[in-house]
Structure 1
Amino acid sequence: MTVVDKETWKTAVCELFGGSAFAAVGPSEEGEGGWRRGAVDVMRLRTRDPRGWWSINNAPEGDVHTLCGPDRPFLPPRSADFDAVYEVSRRGAAQVLVTLQGDWFLTAGIPGFDKREPELIRHAGLILERFGHDALCYTNASAARDDPNGDMFGREAAYEGFTDYALDCGVIVVSPTEVGVFWGFVID
């Protein structure tokens, strides 16, 4: 097992989240719904990584019809908006993380996916490892609603959106102390 430190984290984030993507971590608040409040703070850019590790905000520029952009990657989320995310297995979360770099969040849109799959899954595993083995994972990919243990590489492309871009998809990872938000955006 690889120890996740500042450098392995940065490498994994850079390998998975180039292009139009968002990857940031903030503190998780205690109490019921605390992770939701933590995720809201991360999505509203109101917090910093508790460990001071690398984050990325490459939300695309909007147009006259788009409210979202680099300074506001998400529509202002509220805790209740997270009713539209679904628990997903750790394996499924890793698969969704990998697909965020593909066109329309599909493996077919990732150049050389067949050869790169093991490497990409390893990077996704490193990202999840930061949060510990007991971390909970959530996604807005509606395939997880019906089967949280299903194959997220072969999922249908239906998502509950958090932006006003054409499409957005992501994973929220929750540990007792941290909340990570990893998201991809499609503008056309």
Structure 2
Amino acid sequence: MPWSPEQIQESLYEIGGESATQLLVALQGDFYQAAGIKDFENRKEQLFKDSRTVLARFGANSTFFTNAADAYENPTVDLLNPDTEWSCLSVYTTDCGLVAVSDTEVGVFWAFWED
């Protein structure tokens, strides 16, 4: 959907690195929840390691944003198994994601779900 920069800014909320790490893991599960990842408990350590590796490429001064409504007032929100609403940015029933921003690049990690 075509969004203006102002609309995007109103729909994305800044989160901390740990919340970003959690969200990148959760995006791999059904309905954006880590509980939906097959054999999650046995794979948890490796999933978090991989998520941190991906996000490390953006550097120590990177900032992260999500459209998880709970992040609006809480940048350290637990996004591993979110029971939250999403400010959808697409035409799909639900979409959620993570935007990583550094001085030199922007990374977008997004998932979509439609009834």
TM-score (norm 1): 0.58
Confirm whether residue 77 of structure 1 aligns to residue 35 of structure 2. no
Pairing 1:128–2:85 present: no
The residue number in structure 2 matching 1:98 is: 25
Per the TM alignment, residue 108 of structure 1 is displaced from its structure 2 partner at its CA by 1.7
Larger Rg, first or second structure (1 or 2) = 1
Q: Does the residue aligned with 1:181 lie in a helix, a strand or coil?
A: strand
SS of structure 2 residue aligned to 1:159: coil
Report deviation, 1:153.
Answer: 1.4
Question: Residue 111 of structure 1: SS of its match in structure 2?
Answer: coil
Match of 1:161 among 77, 88, 92: 88
Q: RMSD between aligned alpha carbons?
A: 1.2
Per the TM alignment, residue 134 of structure 1 is displaced from its structure 2 partner at its CA by: 0.7
**Runs of 4 or more above 6 Å deviation:** none
The residue correspondences of 1:105-184 to structure 2 (distance < 5 A) are: 105-184=32-111
Moved more, 164-173 or 148-157: 148-157
8 Å contact 2:26–2:81 — kept in the other structure?
Answer: no
Q: What secondary structure sits across from 2:61 in the alignment?
A: coil
Q: Deviations over 1:10-33 (max 9, x none)?
A: xxxxxxxxxxxxxxxxxxxxxxxx
Matched residue pairs, number?
A: 114
Cα deviation for residue 94 of structure 1 reads: 0.8
Q: Which of the two has greater helix per residue? A: 2
Distance 1:78 1:119 in 2: 38
Q: TM-score, normalised by structure 2?
A: 0.92
The secondary structure found in structure 2 opposite 1:120 is: helix
Amino acid at match of 1:98: V
Gaps of 5+ in 2: none
Contact 2:35-2:81 at 8 Å conserved across structures: no
**Structure 1 SS opposite 2:78:** coil
In 2, the alpha carbon distance for the partners of 1:135 and 1:176 equals 7
SS in 1 for 2:20: helix
